[in-house]
Structure 1
Amino acid sequence: MASQQQEALTEQPSGLRRRVWCRGCQRELTDPESRARGWGSECDPDYRTRLERRDVDQDPIPGL
């Protein structure tokens, strides 16, 4: 009797991407840059890569 063995899956199927979670909060990452780093934008310990926006009140430019 011939034994039938299932072929080992060494690579993930095409069209699917590997799921990556944040190292800090454990949420799934969707942004390609965050996925590469392994940190979400809120949890990233490197302050240079955080996506913070600081709005500053400014006076209007004279003449415009």
Structure 2
Amino acid sequence: MAFEQQESLTEQPSGLRRKVWCRGCRRELTDRDARLRGWGRECDPDYKTRLPAHEVDQEPLPGM
């Protein structure tokens, strides 16, 4: 008599991605980078430091 092994119920079915939740607000993350970090864009404490500096070439003020 052969026994068939039941599939594990804890494993994720192939083709589906695991749900990842934000560490701050507990919302589900959909953005790839946010999923890797574990933080949503609004909650990420390092988000502001990762933005490139926005520098604008500007004419000097007259009289200075």
TM-score normalised by length of structure 2: 0.60
Runs of 5+ consecutive residues of structure 2 not aligned to the other structure: 55-64
**1:20 touches 1:38 (CA, 8 Å); kept in 2?**
yes
TM-superposed CA distance for 1:22, in Å, is: 0.3
Runs of 5+ consecutive residues of structure 1 not aligned to the other structure: 55-64
TM-superposed CA distance for 1:15, in Å, is: 1.3
Whole-angstrom CA distance in 2 between matches of 1:41 and 1:6: 41
2:59 maps to what in 1?
none
> Is 1:32 the counterpart of 2:32 in the alignment?
yes
The structure with more radius of gyration: 2
TM-superposed CA distance for 1:8, in Å, is: 2.4
1:15 maps to what in 2?
15
TM-score normalised by length of structure 1: 0.60
Give the count of matched residue pairs.
51
TM-superposed CA distance for 1:14, in Å, is: 1.5
What percentage of residue pairs aligned between the two structures are identical?
71
